[in-house]
Amino acid sequence: MTSCDGEAPPPRDGRQEFEPGYVYLQVADLIAARILAGELRRHDRLPGEQDLALEYGVSLGTARHATRVLRERGLVFTIRAKGTFVADLSGRNRRR
């Protein structure tokens, strides 16, 4: 469905709209931007994967994959049965 000006209307449920491509990378990039901007700080606990899926309007599998990408980038670490936390980035180049 498009509006009068030919653009798609924003989603009604407040979910993020993503460009075509790998949505898990886009979600990871959004979370990474929050970390690098200081919105999420060292040792802050990320929302659980189910909550991330709801927040970004994606499947649980996509949220899990995004979390895995953040771990691979060294931005977060996971402690089993405790959660996923923002890593200490103080000794690293933050322009990654």
Question: Does residue 17 belong to any structural domain of this protein?
Answer: no
Nearest to 54 by CA among 95, 8, 16, 9: 16
> Which structural domain range is residue 70 located in?
23-86
pTM of the shown model:
0.76
Distances (CA, A) of 54 to 34, 48, 74, 90: 17, 10, 24, 30
| Separation CA 15–CA 61 (nearest Å) | 17
62: domain CATH number is: 1.10.10.10
Q: What is the pLDDT of residues 24-60, one digit of tens each?
A: 999 999 999 999 999 999 999 999 999 999 999 999 9
- Matching residue, tokens 């898990």: 24
The total domain count for the chain is: 1
Question: Which pLDDT belongs to residue 93?
Answer: 56
